[in-house]
């Protein structure tokens, strides 16, 4: 187990370093930082002096290792637009995004697990069809369009919720529903398919033969096994949520890392964009690592293979 975990950790570290290099190169290759720094209408000699002051005239590889070295020590540089240190800025916004991701995942699971079970227990019934319809619509509906519909219904017409902002828990409701519904269909399909498979298995038949009640069979015997793949999928979907939060936080003006990412991109605030891209990628790599190890712990066959 320890050998497996060490190997996975080494791989994750390698991925994280490569991703940071890619994030650095990608943003450097897409435009000239010195021109972005100098702002529009700057003279050529100003741009030249900025290039020298910020060390942008050095070879790219030197700049990358300099950036990586500083980043490893918690120095992400200065934000060009917000005029503050990048690290405290990002750390201030990250909890909001993590909270939103956890809320959305919880919402998605709370909706899709019961519905998925019901759909599997009563296949081809009205509830199965309802689940299918919900899943099909959820996968086809652009999430920003769904967000705008929610605003119109829950905030503008019914006045139940605030339109945008991030001052209270009420501001999290619509973003949570939007992002939760965005990832729920995959969970619903997986729970349904898993339950149908498990319900047809030998040990469930044995449990039935022993005379156990339907509820006890479903909740105690079948659900546990049908939920194993959900752990791995949850990690992947959390990664998807981190990306999706850029769009949703921007719509609802929810003051998290996603909204910060959008602001930094539109204002060409390169140090912030770079830091967020790297951090979100590392966060995803970390999540996958945890899911891998959790899975290996749950299922010993994975450790060997």
- Give, in degrees to the nearest 5, the angle at Cα 227 between 221 and 231: 150
d(CA 12, CA 167): 36
Q: Which is nearer to other proteins, 53 or 137 (CB)?
A: 137
For the CB of residue 284, give the shortest distance to other proteins in the complex, in Å. Answer: 5
Cβ-contact 299, 14 below 8 angstroms: no
Kindly indicate which of the ranges 2-10, 26-34, 39-47, 164-172 contains the residues binding other proteins, using the contact rule CB under 8 A.
26-34
Token code pair at residue 142: 């652009």
136 binds other proteins per the rule CB under 8 A: yes
For the CB of residue 211, give the shortest distance to other proteins in the complex, in Å. Answer: 29
d(CA 183, CA 205): 33
Kindly indicate which of the ranges 9-17, 47-55, 214-222, 223-231 contains the residues binding other proteins, using the contact rule CB under 8 A.
9-17
137 binds other proteins per the rule CB under 8 A: yes
Q: Is 199 left (phi over 0), alpha (psi -120 to 50) or beta?
A: alpha
Kindly indicate which of the ranges 52-60, 84-92, 141-149, 205-213 contains the residues binding other proteins, using the contact rule CB under 8 A.
141-149
Q: Which is nearer to other proteins, 69 or 145 (CB)?
A: 145
* Maximum CA extent, the chain: 86
156 binds other proteins per the rule CB under 8 A: yes
d(CA 161, CA 147): 13
What distances in angstroms separate CA 46 from CA 7, 37, 78, one per listed residue? Answer: 49, 10, 19
d(CA 1, CA 209): 37
281 binds other proteins per the rule CB under 8 A: yes
For the CB of residue 88, give the shortest distance to other proteins in the complex, in Å. Answer: 21
For residue 135, the surrounding DSSP H or E stretch is helix 126-140
The footprint of other proteins on residues 202-261 (CB under 8 A) is: 239, 242-244, 246-247, 250, 261
For the CB of residue 265, give the shortest distance to other proteins in the complex, in Å. Answer: 5
159 Cβ contact partners less than 8 Å away, ≥ 6 residues apart: none
Of 104, 237, 108, residue with least CA distance to 175: 104
Kindly indicate which of the ranges 37-45, 100-108, 110-118, 149-157 contains the residues binding other proteins, using the contact rule CB under 8 A.
149-157
Task: Note the residues at the interface with other proteins (CB under 8 A).
Answer: 11, 14-16, 18-19, 22-23, 26-27, 30-31, 136-137, 139-145, 148-149, 151-152, 156, 192-193, 196, 239, 242-244, 246-247, 250, 261-262, 265-266, 268, 273, 276-277, 280-282, 284-285, 288
């Amino acid at each position: 187990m320890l050998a497996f975990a060490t190997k996975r950790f080494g791989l994750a570290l390698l991925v994280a370093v490569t991703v940071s290099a890619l994030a650095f190169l990608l943003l450097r290759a897409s435009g000239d930082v010195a021109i972005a720094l100098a702002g529009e209408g700057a003279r050529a000699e100003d741009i030249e002096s900025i290039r020298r002051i910020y060390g942008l005239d050095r070879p790219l590889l030197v700049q990358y290792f300099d950036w990586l070295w500083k980043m490893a020590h918690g120095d992400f540089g200065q934000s060009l637009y917000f005029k503050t240190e990048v690290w405290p800025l990002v750390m201030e916004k990250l909890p909001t995004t993590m909270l939103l991701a956890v809320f959305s995942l919880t919402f998605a699971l709370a909706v899709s697990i019961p519905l998925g079970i019901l759909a599997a227990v009563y296949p081809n019934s009205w509830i199965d069809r309802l689940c299918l319809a919900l899943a099909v619509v959820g996968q086809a509906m652009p999430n920003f369009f769904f967000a705008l519909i929610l605003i119109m219904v829950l905030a503008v017409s019914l006045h139940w919720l605030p339109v945008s902002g991030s001052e209270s828990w009420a501001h999290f409701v619509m973003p949570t529903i939007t992002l939760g519904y965005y990832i729920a269909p995959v969970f619903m399909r997986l729970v349904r398919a898993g339950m149908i498979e498990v319900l047809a298995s030998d040990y469930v038949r044995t449990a039935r033969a022993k005379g156990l009640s339907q509820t006890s069979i479903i909740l105690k015997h079948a659900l546990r096994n049908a939920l194993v793949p959900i752990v791995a999928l949850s990690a992947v979907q959390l990664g998807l949520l981190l990306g999706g939060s850029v769009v949703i936080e921007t719509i609802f003006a929810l003051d998290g890392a996603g909204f910060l990412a959008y602001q930094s991109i539109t204002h060409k605030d390169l140090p912030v964009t770079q830091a967020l891209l790297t951090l979100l990628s590392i966060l995803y790599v970390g999540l996958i690592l945890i899911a891998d190890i959790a899975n290996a712990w749950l299922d010993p066959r994975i450790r060997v293979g």
